[in-house]
Structure 1
């Protein structure tokens, strides 16, 4: 995707925070608040959490469960019940990626997924006619209509027989061993079928399919893109053009049109202040959020959360590096806060050892945060039924308390905490051992 310079919009002056007040710590705390990680979503439903904080990336991991537990205290039993009743579902949407989202968003979110022609492109290069896939789609629908229960891909392949064509070694190299996954993907993107977790859990990535027939929503494609930009800026509290394009997958022209449609503004340099990220990009914000940010007060007390590495706080903007503490206190913590009381030499060691991790696209370990700042990492060791953690600076009672709460929740609700479908205790053992070995530095 080519990233061009952002469009020029008249800079906003009214309601902008005073110059010099938008420190990294303030912006982190603002994003923390917008994500509902400050307790403001306590007691809300899963649908309400996803509407306020953003959709939860799934990839067969436990992130959707922790997203809801961290923000609203929702337990796995309730989440699974919400999936069963279609109040929340895992669907392909922005960039064709799967997220768990609330039912009010189903129709327009599906419009943002890959369209049929894009999904078919690879098969076209393998000599598959579009008419063959269209026929297979109809046969899938007929087979599911005749079935007494959802069918998994293996069962569907057996029922469909020769209608599903093997694409040989060349197809395997391109990620298309047969024609069936493409037909299923197209039907799901159209809302005609839906995936059903085989055992009702979102963190197993074993699915069957059933008929759905979701009515098309009232928005056209431009309207769906506008809705997503509005939601995205609300979820993040502000983002660069490049960050928004990474999440949405929109072209430059589509991004410009959507930003203009929602009245997004830049808090431009040289006016009253400059809002920048670690990469130096100016933030686009909703006008109401600019005024709210001007009145926003950073919390004085610790607010500790353990999140998944794919939590919306990091994933929406891919900005984990910006969430690491700087070498000097930024004023967000009260005087005497143990998390701000560390020798400069130790701070430098922490940044050198961990800064490269935060610059990766996805964190290899799950973060521990305080008011939007990454203060450590953690993994769950199912063999010992415990969380293994490394906190960069002095541990406080609030950190230990939250670790104990999340540890008990994983034991009782999940049994393990997988980052993605292929994550296993064996595959993460090296990271578990590394965190355990470094724990003595706390």
Structure 2
């Protein structure tokens, strides 16, 4: 290690500490409090928000669903237009952060699909009249009720995942705070949604998002902030200017000056603090710098079910859900809903604390979620090769 360079173990442990993954100190915090302190949680129809809130504050699914129904938290198109679970205090900022992506999507449809802005605005007016603030309508119901105001976009639209003008108008209404998408059954890990009328302000400066980001993710780099926010170089530079960031020796990583003293005095805890997280948890996703969460001795571990010799240290994103200890990745895990059990591969010997963390997560998934789906097309069938590979891995008992 070069003179003055920050040890990797300290960086990992600090990130875990700032992410409230250091031994259950924040049990009893609300979903909104967790998200405000540790960052917006990526959704996308998977279990990541539930797993992250359980790991940080012991929150059960019913508590998270109740917070969603009470508008204490909400799934919104935020940074880069991606879906995140946000606390109420950040609704306006999140919507402002995602507005540019919605405009980009609409602009592409205008150029490539023969859509006009006028017809989308007219459809927005029609949908606004149809949407109720209390009774959600599915996209299929809106398609029927909007009648000729919705126009199919043919094969070209289907190839781009936009079969009609309806999703473009709904996206615009959501980005303007005039509609919100809610899960039909109240669960974030299912993919059936309805739409409600809404009326929320949309405002926030680029510097506001930068300040939030570096409170959650620092030490982090300008490149990582740009990847999260979607900002161009000039916008990012202007957003960071008021923050008084200081550089960590020997790295490209920056830290707000008000955290510099705390970071300097921080030491790696002597006791392990295990947590089971989704692959898209903010511990990784805020920076997408997986190699810094991997101990060098684990870099050459094979990716489960890989047919091409992939290894963990060369991955951009986690290949499975993760077991972590003080920020270090110490295992892979997935859930088998047919056998109703958690399957894992550990990089460290089993001890009482690790066993307790595994059992707690397994019980939570079995009793509250039924499965631990990743976002997208994940299913028990698609997961079968990973489950087989994890079961075949050597045990560290």
The answer, yes or no, to whether TM exceeds 0.5 is yes
1:178-257 paired onto structure 2 within 5 Å = 178-217=164-203, 219=204, 223=205, 225-257=206-238
User: For 1:15-414, what aligned pairs fall within 5 Å after superposition?
Assistant: 19-20=3-4, 22-38=6-22, 39-115=24-100, 117-124=103-110, 125-145=112-132, 149-217=135-203, 219=204, 223=205, 225-267=206-248, 273-274=249-250, 276=251, 282-327=252-297, 351-354=300-303, 356-414=311-369
CA contact (8 A) 2:346 2:395 kept: no
CA-atom RMSD in angstroms: 1.8
SS in 1 for 2:91: helix
How many residue pairs were aligned? 387
Paired with 1:425 and 1:434, the residues of 2 have a C-alpha distance of 14
Q: 2:195, 2:317 → 1: CA distance? A: 30
Per-residue deviation, residues 382-440 of structure 1 (Å, max 9, x unmatched): 11111100002322222111101100111111011101142110010110111001144
Separation (CA, whole Å) in 2 of partners of 1:122 and 1:407: 44
TM-superposition CA deviations, 1:133-184 (whole Å, max 9, x none): 1100000011114x97210000000111221111111111122110000000
Kept in 1: contact 2:322–2:333 (CA 8 A): yes
Residue 99 of structure 1 aligns to a residue whose secondary structure is strand
Q: How far did residue 352 of structure 1 move? A: 4.5
Normalised TM-score (structure 2): 0.93
CA shift in 2, pair 1:294/1:227, >3 Å? same
Distance 2:80 2:368 in 1: 31
What residue number does 2:377 align with? Answer: 422
Change (3 A) 1:60 1:74: same
SS of 2:333 mapped into structure 1: strand
Task: Structure 1 unaligned segments of length 5 or more: list them.
Answer: 1-17, 268-272, 277-281, 328-346
Separation in 1 of the partners of 2:279 and 2:103?
A: 33
Q: How many Å separate the matches in 2 of 1:48 and 1:148?
A: 26
Larger radius of gyration: 1
TM-score in terms of structure 1 length: 0.84
- Rounded Cα–Cα distance in structure 2 between residues aligned with 1:321 and 1:411: 31
Q: Matches of 2:359 and 2:370 in 1, distance apart?
A: 15
Displacement after TM superposition at 1:325 (Å)? 1.3
8 Å Cα contact 2:220-2:254 kept in structure 1? yes
- CA offset at residue 42 of structure 1? 2.1
Partner Cα distance (1:440, 1:293) in 2: 36
Rounded to whole Å, the distance in 1 between the matches of 2:30 and 2:357 is: 22
Contact 1:389–1:439 (CA<8 Å) still a contact in 2? no
* Contact 2:95–2:202 (Cα < 8 Å) also in 1: no
Distance in 2 between residues matched to 1:256 and 1:56, nearest whole Å = 25
- Quick one: distance in 2 between partners of 1:382 and 1:232? 35
- 1: CA distance, partners of 2:314 / 2:57: 29
How far, CA to CA, are the matches of 1:297 and 1:393 in structure 2?
Answer: 21
Query: What secondary structure is seen at the aligned counterpart in 2 of 1:113?
Result: helix
**Partner of 2:300: helix, strand, or coil?**
helix
* Structure 2: 5+ residue stretches without partners: 304-309
